[in-house]
Amino acid sequence: MRGYFGIGVEGISKPMNVGNLLRSAHSFGASFFFTVNPTVDVRGMKSSDTSDAFGHLPFYSFEKVSDLVLPLKTSLVAVEFLPDAVELPSFRHPQQAVYVLGPEKGNVSDEMLARCDYTLKIPMKFCINVGVAGALVMYDRLISMGRFADRPVRGGGPEKKDFAPQQLTPEQIVCA
């Protein structure tokens, strides 16, 4: 898969949620993980980070939104349950993206939203656990940007001949 992504949380307060999200980020191949103004000792949640993600992913902690530093040419994407947010199934993930999720009992701050290039939401009836929401976004990124066979029209998986990785034509190859 081309590009990279980072994922993080603002104002997180539950260590198990941090550990769950961090473990998922490690599993889905995130390039880094970050927090902004956490109200919990993020490194103190070892029991939910069973993959030792801190040993494998760069971790950045920022005291406030204005301290958040992003790689150049990276889009900041808020994952927030807002009426005008783009629904996840209709969202085209930027090649270089940083996703930020809000606290468990609140929203991404207005200051953070003002910095975001996009806001997306998971089309559900109500908010879900921050770790689950982050995993859904990373999974959607993987299936929409990965090189997987198209889904068949009928139930089941693709035929074996459809499993070959997609071959890119010279026109599809973009060099930076």
Residue 8 burial (CB count, 10 A): 26
pTM for this predicted structure: 0.84
Mean per-residue pLDDT of the chain: 85
Q: Is 139 inside any structural domain?
A: yes
Task: Return the pLDDT at 176.
Answer: 41
Q: Which residues contact 146 (CB under 8 A, 6 or more apart)?
A: 1
Residue 172, in any domain of the structure: no
> Is the pLDDT confidence value at 53 over 80?
no
Tell me the mean pLDDT in the region 132-148. 92
Query: Does residue 162 fall inside a structural domain?
Result: no
Arithmetic mean of pLDDT, 73-96? 96
> Does 157 reside within a domain?
no
User: Where residue 40 falls among pLDDT bands split at 50, 70, 90?
Assistant: confident
Assigned domain for 132 exists? yes
The total number of structural domains in the chain stands at 1
Domain of 69, CATH number, reads 3.40.1280.10
Closest to 9 in 3D by CA, of 168, 137, 139: 137
Checking if the pLDDT of 129 tops 60, the result is: yes
User: Is residue 64 one of the residues assigned to a domain?
Assistant: yes
Higher confidence at residue 121 or residue 176? Answer: 121
CB 127 within 8 A of CB 134: no
Domain enclosing residue 142, as ranges: 4-147
How long is the chain? Answer: 176
